[in-house]
Each structure stands twice: as C-alpha cells, then as structure tokens.
Amino acid sequence: MAEVIRALRSAEEKIRARWSLLGPLIFSSFILAALLADLISPYDPWKRFNPYQMPGWEHLLGTNDMGHDILSELIFGSRVSLAVGFSAAILSATLGTAVGLFAGYFRGMADEVLMGITDIFLMIPQIPLIIVLAAFLRPSFWLMALLMGLLWWTALARIVRSRTLQVREMGFVAGAKAIGFSDNHVIFSDVLPNTLYVIAPKFMLTVASAMIAEASISFLGLSDPSMKSWGTMISYAFSRGGFINGMWWWYLPPGLCITVFVLSLVMMAGILEERDIEPVKVD
Amino acid sequence: MALLDIRNLSVSFETPQGLVKAATQVSLALEYNETLALVGETGCGKSVVVNAIMKLLPANAKVDGRVIYRGRDLLSLDEKEMARIRGQDIAIIFQNPSLALNPVYKISEQVSESMILKKRSSRSRAEEISSQLLQRLGLKGRESSYPFQLSGGMNQRAMIACSVVLGPKIIIADEPTKGLDQSMVGQVLGEIRKAKEVNGASLLLITHDMEVARQISDKVAVMYCGEVMEVGKTEEVLQAPSHPYTQALLDSLPERGFLPIPGPSPSMIDPPEGCRFHPRCPWRRDLCSIERPVQKSTTTGWVRCCR
Amino acid sequence: MLWGKTARYAIAFFLIISLNFAIPRAMPGDTLTNLMGEDVHLSEDAMLELKAKVGVDQPIHIQFLNYWRDLFHLDLGYSYHLHAPVSSLIRERIKWTMLLVAPSIIMGAFVGTLLGALAGWRRKEAKSRLQTTGFLLIYCTPPYFLSMLALYFLGFELGWFPLKGFYQSGTIGDIAHHLFLPVLIMTLFSASRNYMIMRGSVIQERQMLYASYARAKGLSSDQILFRHIFKNAALPIITLVALDFGFIFSGALFIEIVFSMHGMGNLIYDSLLCRDYPVLQGTFAVITIMVILANLLADWTYGLVDPRVRWQR
C-alpha cells in the first residue's frame, strides 16, 4: 500500500515537474525565435505579396491587406514586443529595487519620503497617462518602454522595502555593519542578494504587464508605423477591416502570441514565488 | 480500559532533506480524570503526538499506529467524523493564543461560535453561556474585545474558554505556559485545572518544563527524539527517575544548578542507532549503540533503558 | 491614520492634476496647438480671441491658478473638433462607460473572490486547477483581444450577439442584448485579477495558526474557509482592488472600443485620431479623480471592516 502511494506521489511530482518546465520552454523558444528572426523567418516582413491570402503552403499564416506575410511579421514583431517588455521591466526593476533598498535600509526620513512618493505614483492612472503623453510626442516604442519603466517601479519598491526591513535585522547584516563595512557595501553585497528572490518573480510579471500595455497602446495607433510589433499587427487588423471582415488569421496569431508568452512569464513567476511556500514544521 | 489509548504511534514527514521521524512507536494511556504530562525538550516530537491525536498534521505527514478513544480508532476516522470529535470530545489549547485566535472577531464571538455551529444553540443562548464562561475565567467586561486589544495572558484565557465551552472529555494543552512570565504560569495552570475539574475531563499537558509537570500532573511521560523514554507517577519519576535522560532534564532545572545536557541535540532524520539517548548518556555501555532497549516495568510505570 | 492617508491622496491629486496642466505646456510644439488640438483651422481674428481666452499670453502662475479655478467649476476646456465643452462630452459618455464598468466590477469582485477563495482552499483538486488555468489564461490576455475573440466566435461565427455597439435610442432589452457580451468580458477580466489575488491570499492565510485552531475547534472545512479565512484573506484585497482600479478601468476603455460602444473609450480613441488634446486631457483628469476616489473609498471600507484599524484611530 505504502509503495503504491509512493509510486503515485512520484508520478504526480513528475507531472508537476514537467508542467513547471512548460513556462521556461515556451519562454526560451520565443526568445530564440526573436534572436534568430533573420534565419527562421520565411520572408522579409515588409515584402509585398497578394493581399488578404488565407493561410496556405505559400504563406503559412496568410497575408494582410498590404500583402505582408503574417508569419514573418509575427517573428520579427516579437523582437519589438519583447524588447519593449524587457526594457520597461529592467528600468522599473532598477528603480524599484533602488527605492526599496534605500527606504528599507535607512528607514526614518528617507523611508517616509520615498514611500510617500511611491504612494503618489501608485495613484497615477498609468495607461491613460502614457496615452496622453504618447499623443503629444512622436510615436516610438522606446518612449513607450521608458514611460512604463518610469511608472511601474512602485509595486517592486514596496516588496523590496519590506524584504529589506526583514533582512537588515538578520545577524549577518548587523555583523557586517559592526565590522565596519560601509552602508553601500552592506546594501549591495549583503542585503541585495537576499532580496533577489522576491525581485525575480516580480520582474517577470512586470515584463508581462509591459507587453500587455504595449499591445494595448499600439492598438490605439500610438506606435511607430515604421516598426512592427504584435500590438500593431492587431491594431491594423482592427482598424483596416481585418476584424470586421472575419480575417481571423490576421489578428489571431499575434494575440495568441501575446497571451502564450505572457502566460509563460506568469507561470515562471508562480514557480519562483511558490518555491518558499509551505515550510515543514516539526514540533 | 483507558479513556485514550495511544498504541505504537509513529509519525514521519517527507521533506526535501529526507524523512523526518518525528515520533516513533509512541504508546501512552490517558485514564479517566487523570492529568498526564508529556515532557521533553523543544523538538522532541511531543507536539507532533498531540497533533496526530487530533489529526491536525499537515498533508506530508505519514501516521502509523492506533489512537483509541472510547473503542474507536481516531486514525481511521474521516475528516467529517473527526470534526465531530474535535471540540466536543477532545479539545486542544494551543501554545500561541494571540495567533491562534482569529484577529478579526471578538472573543465572545469566537467562544460562542462552537456552540452555534456544533450544538445548534441559539445565538442568544450561546452568547449567554460564553460570557458566563469568560467571566468565570476573569475576563468580565472584556467579552467584546478583539484579541489584539488583550494581553497574552488574557488571550490564553480566552482560548481556554473557546476550547472547553463544549465540555470536552479530554483537554489537550500544548505548552500553555510557554513564554509566560513566572507569575502568570501558576494562574494559567490554575485555569486549566479548573476547566478540567468543571468538565470532569482528563488532561494531557505538553510541556518542556519539569516544574510545570510537578505542579499539575498525576503521571509523567518523558519524550526524547521521538520516543517515549519513561512513564510513571509524577512523584516517582521526579523523585527517583529511572532514565538517565529524565535525570539530565531534572539536573537542568534552575534549582538543581542549570546543568546542561552534554552533547548536541540528535538529528530527527538520522536518529542514533540503538538507544537514541546513547550519544549523550553518562551510563552508556557498548550494547546501547546497537540494541534498542525494550520497555521495563518500574514501580508505577515503565522505562526504556537497559541499565 | 485615515487623515494622514487622506492628506496623501490630496497631495497625489494635486500633483497628478498639475502634471496634466504641465504636459501641453512642456511638450514640443506650439503651446496653443497643444492646448487646442491639431488641425483646428480658424480665422486670424478668431485665433486672437481664442488666444486670449485660453490665456497662453498670461504668466504661467496665472494660467495655473485659472486652470484650478476652472477645474473646480467643472470646466475641463473646450473641444474645437467636437464643438462642445469637454465636461459635457465626458458627462454624456461616462454613463455608458459606467453601465459597462459598474456591474462588471461588482460581479467581478464577487465571482473572483469567491472562486479564488475556493481555489486557494482546495488547490490540489482537479476542478480548481482547471479553473485556475482558465482564469490564468484570461489574466494573461489583453482585454481587447479577449473582446475580439468573443465577438468573433459568439457574434461573427455564431451570430448570438450584435457586432456593433448599442444605441442610445434602444429599448432596455436592446441595450441589455448589446451590453451582455462586453459586460461578460469585463466581468471575466476583473474577476481573473481578483481570483489570482484572492487565491494567493487564501493560500497564505490557510497557514496561519488561527486556521488550524478553527479546525481544532471542530469546524468543517467550509466553515473554516468562510467563517475564518475569508474575512482575513479579503482584507488585503480591498486595497489591492482599489490600486487595480486604474488598470481595470483602462481595460474597460479598450473593451468599449472593440464593441464600438458610445463611452469614454471611443471618445479617447476618436480624439487620438485627430489629436483632440483638450478631450484627452479632460478624460485623464476624470480618470485620475476616479482612481483617487476609489482608493479613498477602499481605505474607508478597510477601516470599517478591520477592527485593528478601526480601534487604532
């Protein structure tokens, strides 16, 4: 009986282990596709063929109103979408980590001021603000990433701060301070490494929401027309009649790509977050 | 026939570090109206034993043996039947009252809850009884306070009220005096004893403190590294201990000069072969590291030692 | 404590609205154009008159004071494209948005927290795993794409629902028919976010000692969840949902666009096409006010529900 249970349990663990591989697998294949776009893309995404072709052998995912090959657009578009997501997340992670570390480590006045600023930034309706700013400025993906990075650090700042408050009370931090290491040294070599595991999952989630936001803002036509992203593909399909005429092959692939890639990020973040849950307690 | 008969209870936990053997073949009997103290250092598995009796262990726990209460093996009951036993027949008092009480409900609500849900009492009747009980425990005028408004000692009494409101036959108290200052210990023990007497219940008290055991119990069981080493009447065990570990525990009491037990605490994943206490035992012989000692009768109980 | 928070909200309100004032004046290009919108063609005389009216010639601090004075008089400027005051345009549109947002947020909060709590409580069960996967997929999809999918399959392929938005002249039945699908999508969208938060919250709370004590008291699994864990787990949700309000509301704007509804979303969409800046800025101000009010309301509710906050004031 016990053996049966053990066998069942190990089978379940294997299934779960396999599931947990799914996120990294999807993630890395998308990254690979973006990096190797020149090699794997069947055509130049700007080359014009017959427009409005259904998916077929010639064009696996069909063509759009300009006669561009959708699959090629999709592969090259992933570069822009991923780049926007990652640069926004890197910027906001840097800002959020810095704010959280300094507020949590120095506490007192610095904490009050930094957290006050964080609270104010939390109140900003982010996507509407980006829309307004993008309307005034020349459309650009880099600008979009910059704005998102500048607006999205707040959640991470709060998490890093509360983790820092915990870490700074731990013995080794007090020890390092007592030995006489500078605050900078303690923050970067003792505190920061111990906050990384709360930063990593949040970073993934920030990439995810930056990509959804990119797709949303591009949907409004606020993106650079000289570049293609998944969001602009859907936007054109919607505004140039692809949607209303039922040309599903035009907007379905980019939308599904966003969903699947975001899903892989959320899955990985979930695995990272759950790693520490359920500590075993004896007595 | 004892009220509660624990036979060969073993509990282990599957962990990434290995199988933690938290309790090994624990056998204990709790008689009617008796107070049994289960004594041992922190981490010896005594909380695991009571949580196994109540079936409150986490899902990764593997439990073997039998726990017989009134002719029924509790370990074979399903969650629904067990829920009926908890609170009504066997109640437990946790060691950390400020965390065990729900922060967002008044204490009177938490006491009357069991009456309403389990005895189907009317709300007014339940509240009447619970406020009487709280008053008897010295919480008059505090019935509609929230746990965060009360001191640790007050919360301890509120939890005693929550646990005994249904008149259980067995009260289990898990380190009820841990973390309390000395003046509070006697008071809390008094409350627990009163609750036991009012209900005509038996008491199973878990403690690391020999002095507490002496004050309140009829019988003492000493646990070390997941095994029960010695059982007997309190006077006998405390006056003339048969097991070297019991002796060492007594020697570590303040009035005996705080003598620490030599050697490190044993690993629960890889416990010592033979007698589990042998690495730290002053009377160790060669046999001790090879053979697990069998139970030997003493005047009022038994001991697991070869000497 | 609540006063400190309220002061913080007041500062946030002041700064964000001031930012709104600064944007058209700080952005590249002609300030007058930035204030009036592109492609506004007027005669020379009218232009001068407007200049005086908009007040670009006055010192910046006077403009700033005037801007706040106007705001308190609910004057959000004038749309030269639509030839109407921005405030009346928004008032006209916001009720349709509210018709979409209000029921969806309420239902989404209800469905999301309830199912999320059950999923966190019974997370090993196949049913709740399946449910979590479903909500996770919705969570990961941009709301407008979700709308497009629903509209394509249920409207286009199956013909169950109308493809175009609803009309002001419609009867209640007509409006309900048109509203059903967008409200469904919006509900699922906001439910998915509450679901994820509540599930995580319950998974954390179930490890608390009071949960095992409730079990030790002899409560059944459902009683522990709904009487003990739910209230504790739902508390952080109140704040998180309020912070999420801006995001949820933005999502509604996109859903509106896909369903061609006559609300704020399409107002923004149209004003983006012709760069009708006054309308964009007006909507931003209104959304800011709504987000801040939502957070204020959340803090207030939190204080009512959590005794620890209620008594510490």
**pLDDT at residue C171 is higher than 90:** no
Size of interface A-C (CB pairs under 8 A): 128
Residue A282 with chain B: CB contacts under 8 Å = 13, 20, 22, 43, 45, 48, 268
Residues B207 and B193 in one domain: yes
- What token pair was written down for C167? 């009309």
Encode pLDDT of C102-135 as tens digits.
999 999 999 999 999 999 999 888 888 899 999 9
DSSP H helices in A152-191: 154-167, 171-179, 183-186
Q: What is the pLDDT of residue A210?
A: 92
CA separation for the pair B91, B54 (Å, rounded) = 8
Q: What is the pLDDT of residue A280?
A: 34
- C12 vs chain A: nearest CA distance in angstroms? 5
Q: What is the pLDDT of residue B18?
A: 84
Number of Cβ within a 10 Å radius of residue B120: 8
CB of B155 closer than 8 Å to CB of B134: no
CA separation for the pair B268, B46 (Å, rounded) = 13
Our measurement of the distance from residue B113's CA atom to the centroid of its chain's CA atoms, rounded to an integer in Å, reads 24
What domain range is B14 assigned to?
4-85+185-304
Q: What is the pLDDT of residue A282?
A: 36
Confidence band of A279 (pLDDT split at 50, 70, 90): very low
Residues B99 and B26 in one domain: no
Number of Cβ within a 10 Å radius of residue B12: 22
- Domain membership of residue A191 (yes or no) is yes
Section C278-307 average pLDDT: 90
- Mapped onto helix, strand or coil, the DSSP state of residue B15 is strand
CA separation for the pair A61, C313 (Å, rounded) = 62
Q: What is the pLDDT of residue C224?
A: 94
| Closest of A100, A93, A95, A126 to residue A114, by C-alpha | A100
Q: Give the pairing type, strands B202-207 and C78-79.
A: unpaired
- Give the residue on C whose Cα is nearest the Cα of A277: C204
Section A258-269 average pLDDT: 92
**pLDDT at residue A1 is higher than 70:** no
**pLDDT at residue A3 is higher than 60:** no
CA separation for the pair A129, C280 (Å, rounded) = 10
**Contact between chains at C307 and B86 (C-beta distance less than 8 A):** no
Encode pLDDT of C1-60 as tens digits.
567 778 888 999 999 999 999 898 888 877 778 887 777 777 777 777 777 777 777 888
- What token pair was written down for A198? 């709360």
Burial class of residue A113 in the structure, from the number of CB atoms within 10 Å of its CB (0-12 exposed, 13-18 middle, 19+ buried) = exposed
The answer to whether A281 faces chain B, any CB pair under 8 Å, is yes
Q: What is the pLDDT of residue A2?
A: 47
Crossing angle, helix A248-274 and helix A70-106, to 10 degrees?
Answer: 30
Half-sphere exposure of A73 (CA within 13 A, CB side): 34
Encode pLDDT of C54-96 as tens digits.
777 788 888 888 889 888 888 888 888 888 899 999 999 999 8
> Mean pLDDT of all residues in chain C?
86
Domain count, chain B: 2
Lowest mean pLDDT among A57-66, B76-85, B237-246, C197-206: A57-66
- Mapped onto helix, strand or coil, the DSSP state of residue B203 is strand
CATH assignment at residue B298: 3.40.50.300
Confidence band of C312 (pLDDT split at 50, 70, 90): low
Residues near C51 by beta carbon (within 8 Å), at least 6 away in sequence: C32, C57
- C305 vs chain A: nearest CA distance in angstroms? 22
From first to last of the 307 residues of chain B, give the pLDDT tens digit: 789 999 999 999 988 888 889 999 999 999 999 999 999 988 888 999 999 999 999 888 999 999 999 989 999 999 999 999 999 999 999 988 889 999 999 999 999 999 999 888 899 999 999 999 999 888 888 989 999 999 888 898 899 999 999 999 999 999 888 877 777 788 889 989 988 998 899 999 999 888 899 999 999 999 999 999 999 999 999 998 999 999 988 888 888 777 888 888 888 888 898 899 988 888 888 888 888 888 888 989 999 988 7
- Mapped onto helix, strand or coil, the DSSP state of residue A9 is helix
- Top pLDDT among C43 and C217 is at C217
**Contact between chains at C213 and B104 (C-beta distance less than 8 A):** no
Q: What is the pLDDT of residue A228?
A: 86
Residue C220 with chain B: CB contacts under 8 Å = 80, 83
Confidence band of A175 (pLDDT split at 50, 70, 90): confident
> Quick one: DSSP state of residue A69?
B
Q: What is the pLDDT of residue A81?
A: 92
- Mapped onto helix, strand or coil, the DSSP state of residue B229 is strand
Residues B8 and B122 in one domain: no
Q: Which chains are within 8 Å of B by 3+ CB pairs?
A: A, C
CA separation (Å) from C242 to A125, B260, C99, C249? Answer: 12, 56, 19, 11
**Contact between chains at B83 and C227 (C-beta distance less than 8 A):** no
What does the domain layout of chain C look like in residue ranges?
A: 2-75, 96-276
Residues B287 and B196 in one domain: yes
- Domain membership of residue B56 (yes or no) is yes
**pLDDT at residue A94 is higher than 80:** yes
DSSP string of C62-111, one letter each residue:
HHHHHHHHHHHTT---EETTTTEEHHHHHHHHHHHHHHHHHHHHHHHHHH
- Domain membership of residue B241 (yes or no) is yes
| Closest of B233, B234, B229, B164 to residue B201, by C-alpha | B164
Residues B159 and B94 in one domain: yes
Residue C235 with chain B: CB contacts under 8 Å = 104
CA separation for the pair A226, C112 (Å, rounded) = 41
CB of B188 closer than 8 Å to CB of B177: yes
Q: What is the pLDDT of residue A281?
A: 36
**pLDDT at residue A12 is higher than 90:** no
Q: What is the pLDDT of residue A13?
A: 65
Q: What is the pLDDT of residue A43?
A: 77
Domain count, chain A: 1
What domain range is A34 assigned to?
2-274
- Domain membership of residue A282 (yes or no) is no
- Domain membership of residue B245 (yes or no) is yes
CA separation for the pair B49, B10 (Å, rounded) = 8
Q: Which chains are within 8 Å of A by 3+ CB pairs?
A: B, C
Complete edge-to-edge strand list for the sheet that includes strand B72-73: B18-30, B4-15, B61-69, B72-73
Q: In sequence order, what E strands does chain B have?
A: 4-15, 18-30, 35-39, 61-69, 72-73, 90-93, 170-174, 202-207, 219-224, 227-233, 295-297, 302-304
Residues near B228 by beta carbon (within 8 Å), at least 6 away in sequence: B26, B27, B28, B221, B222, B304
CA separation for the pair B217, B233 (Å, rounded) = 9
Taking an 8 Å Cβ-Cβ cutoff, which residues of chain B contact chain C? 54, 56, 79-80, 83-88, 91-92, 94, 96, 99-104, 106, 113-114, 117-118, 146, 148-149, 159, 162-163, 166
Q: What is the pLDDT of residue B158?
A: 93
CA separation for the pair B121, B48 (Å, rounded) = 33
Q: Compare CB distances from C295 to A123, A126, A258 and report the shortest one's residue.
A: A123
- What token pair was written down for C166? 């609803």
- C202 vs chain B: nearest CA distance in angstroms? 14
**Contact between chains at C277 and A120 (C-beta distance less than 8 A):** no
- Domain membership of residue B177 (yes or no) is no
Residue A122 with chain C: CB contacts under 8 Å = 243
- B152 vs chain C: nearest CA distance in angstroms? 15
CA separation (Å) from B95 to A234, B163, C109? Answer: 59, 13, 37
CATH architecture assigned to C96-276: Orthogonal Bundle (1.10)
Residues B53 and B138 in one domain: no
* Domain finish residue from B123, B140, B167: B167
Q: Best interface-test mutation with C: which of B57, B96, B104, B142 has the largest number of C CBs within 10 A?
A: B104
Measured over the CA atoms of residue C106, residue C107, residue C110 and residue C113, the dihedral's sign is negative
Q: What is the pLDDT of residue B267?
A: 86
- Domain membership of residue B173 (yes or no) is no
The answer to whether A20 faces chain C, any CB pair under 8 Å, is no
Half-sphere exposure of A261 (CA within 13 A, CB side): 31
**Contact between chains at B104 and C209 (C-beta distance less than 8 A):** no
Q: What angle do CA A70, A74, A80 make, to 5 degrees?
A: 140
The answer to whether A137 faces chain C, any CB pair under 8 Å, is yes
Radius of gyration of the CA atoms of chain B, in A: 20
CA separation for the pair C55, C75 (Å, rounded) = 14
CB of C34 closer than 8 Å to CB of C25: yes
> Quick one: DSSP state of residue A56?
-
Section A16-29 average pLDDT: 83
